[in-house]
Amino acid sequence: MRKLALYWQILIGMLLGVLLGLVLSQFGWGSQFVQDWIKPFGNIFINSLKLIAIPLILGSLIKGISDLKDISQLSSIGFKTIALYILTTLIAVSVGLTVVNTIAPGKHIAEETRTDLVTRYASDASQKQADAQRQRESGPLQALEDIVPDNIFNAAANNTNMLQVIFFAIFFGIGMILIPEKQVEPVKRFIDSFNYVILKLIDIIMMAAPFGVFALLTALVTEAPSGDLFVALSMYAFSVVLGLTIMIALYILAVWSITKRPPVFFIKGIAPAQLLGFSTSSSAATLPLTMERVEEHLGVHKSVASFVLPIGATINMDGTSLYQAVAAVFIAQAFGIHLPFAAQLGIIATATLASIGSAAIPGAGTVMLVIVLAQAGIPEAGLALIFAIERPLDMCRTVVNLTGDAAVSMIVAKSEGKLKEIKQSS
């Protein structure tokens, strides 16, 4: 019998967890039984995600930055590519924050349910309040000062210092670029091998996702057995999909206005890659087809496509960063945590930088979300709220990731005079 795909296993685990939670919540001893014998496995799964977060950001981000060594020979294309990728990521996070603050899916949770959630995670809420108070008492440039660590090992020992780890990874990657290739080759080989190992560990962790989701959802339902949680979850999914749809519309508008290629031309050219990306949830796996469609059907010269698209598959994760922003604010809303404007600016910075280090494989965006939550002081236990529909949303945001790569490649090619006229027939 053929093995079920992981996303089906996760959906089954979610369903069984909800059903078991509903059954056990009918008994007086049920909640305590779940706390003692089921929830710990969910906590182990969350801890494994947190465990891998810092190694993942170090491996992926250093590799992504160091792979830009050719930017010295292709300074014009390189600068435009990096600038556009950063710009689109910032726009994606901003769109996500705008949508989630407008729709406020977490506000659909009843006050009684929210009170229960806050009570159960009171220590996290207290820590958040303490951090907010400390931020109010600090100077205007304290946030900038805090980005630069005085000890990388201390920074790496605490997930709430993730921006410091990201700063070190970028700094380290720049150092690798500035060293002659022959001298840096041993370090690069080590980083590449280290990154492969971390990605394999993510595969192993995600194999346990069905059991982790089962435990987390069982605990969530018994702790707050209210239908409003599921209403809020559906509104959260709607918020993510709406934000992703807006991003695709912005890509089409940018391509149309800058390259003068009509929307139908762009969509028809990239559609096969979008479908493959949707089915695989991997920008990296879709890269060969993306390059073929961009070169042969969108008219981008090979010299541009071969530079822009591989970098995009590594550092341009617009769909992922948008999802992280929506998820972080939704979880904060669910727990009744007010995120001031400064905190949401922090989410923009963290989600933008974290998306650069997000591996182009299924499930990596969830690991990177731990970084965003930790930096914003939002309880990581809130991941239980969104795991149920993580897989279909992962499929959707991969489409946005590779569509953004294709749009940027066309814009860069147009600016370099390397976008040829082409008659599209398929």
Q: Considering the domain boundaries, does residue 422 fall inside one?
A: no
Residue 140, SS3 per DSSP: coil
- Quick one: pLDDT at residue 186? 92
Lowest mean pLDDT, pick from 100-104, 219-223, 237-241, 380-384: 380-384
Q: Considering the domain boundaries, does residue 411 fall inside one?
A: yes
Question: What is the mean predicted confidence (pLDDT) over 63-90?
Answer: 73
Q: Quick one: what percent of the chain has pLDDT higher than 70?
A: 73
Question: What is the mean predicted confidence (pLDDT) over 341-350?
Answer: 74
Q: Which long-range CB contacts under 8 A does 50-53 form with residues at least 24 apart?
A: 50/159, 50/370, 50/374, 50/380, 52/198, 52/201, 52/202, 52/205, 52/367, 53/159, 53/162, 53/367, 53/368, 53/370, 53/371, 53/374
Q: What is the mean pLDDT of the chain?
A: 77
Question: What is the mean predicted confidence (pLDDT) over 91-112?
Answer: 85
Q: Considering the domain boundaries, does residue 234 fall inside one?
A: yes
Question: What is the mean predicted confidence (pLDDT) over 47-73?
Answer: 70
- Quick one: pLDDT at residue 72? 52
Lowest mean pLDDT, pick from 3-7, 118-122, 205-209, 244-248: 118-122
Question: What is the mean predicted confidence (pLDDT) over 110-126?
Answer: 59
Residue 371 has pLDDT above 90, yes or no: no
Q: Considering the domain boundaries, does residue 424 fall inside one?
A: no
Question: What is the mean predicted confidence (pLDDT) over 145-174?
Answer: 78
Question: What is the mean predicted confidence (pLDDT) over 253-282?
Answer: 85
Question: Which residues does 275 contact at the CB level (< 8 Å), separation at least 6?
Answer: none
Lowest mean pLDDT, pick from 93-107, 273-287, 403-417: 273-287
Lowest mean pLDDT, pick from 170-179, 328-337, 358-367: 358-367
The tally of domains found in the chain comes to 1
CA angle 81, 83, 89 (to 5 degrees): 100
pLDDT in tens, 205-223: 778 878 887 887 788 778 6
Report the range out of 97-111, 116-130, 220-234, 347-361 with the highest average pLDDT: 97-111
- Quick one: pLDDT at residue 201? 85
Residue 121, SS3 per DSSP: coil
- Quick one: pLDDT at residue 153? 87
- Quick one: pLDDT at residue 98? 92
Buried b (16+ CB within 10 A) or exposed e, 299-308: bbbeebbebb
- Quick one: pLDDT at residue 400? 93
Q: How far apart are CA 242 and CA 131, in angstroms?
A: 32
Q: Which CATH number belongs to the domain containing residue 175 in this structure?
A: 1.10.3860
Residue 317 has pLDDT above 60, yes or no: yes
The number of residues in the chain equals 426
Residue 136 has pLDDT above 90, yes or no: no
Domain that holds residue 132: 6-415
Q: Considering the domain boundaries, does residue 252 fall inside one?
A: yes
- Quick one: pLDDT at residue 250? 96
Rounded to 5 degrees, φ, ψ at 300 are -80, 130
Question: What is the mean predicted confidence (pLDDT) over 49-63?
Answer: 75
Q: Considering the domain boundaries, does residue 423 fall inside one?
A: no
Identify the band that residue 342 occupies on the pLDDT scale cut at 50, 70 and 90: confident
- Quick one: pLDDT at residue 102? 92
Rounded to 5 degrees, φ, ψ at 148 are -95, 115
- Quick one: pLDDT at residue 273? 84
Q: How far apart are CA 223 and CA 1, in angstroms?
A: 37
Question: What is the mean predicted confidence (pLDDT) over 390-414?
Answer: 87
Q: Considering the domain boundaries, does residue 402 fall inside one?
A: yes
- Quick one: pLDDT at residue 426? 44
Identify the band that residue 409 occupies on the pLDDT scale cut at 50, 70 and 90: very high
Q: Considering the domain boundaries, does residue 425 fall inside one?
A: no
pLDDT in tens, 294-315: 888 898 887 788 778 877 776 7
pTM of the model: 0.66
Q: Quick one: what percent of the chain has pLDDT higher than 90?
A: 13
Position with higher pLDDT, 127 vs 408: 408
Lowest mean pLDDT, pick from 62-76, 195-209, 250-264: 62-76
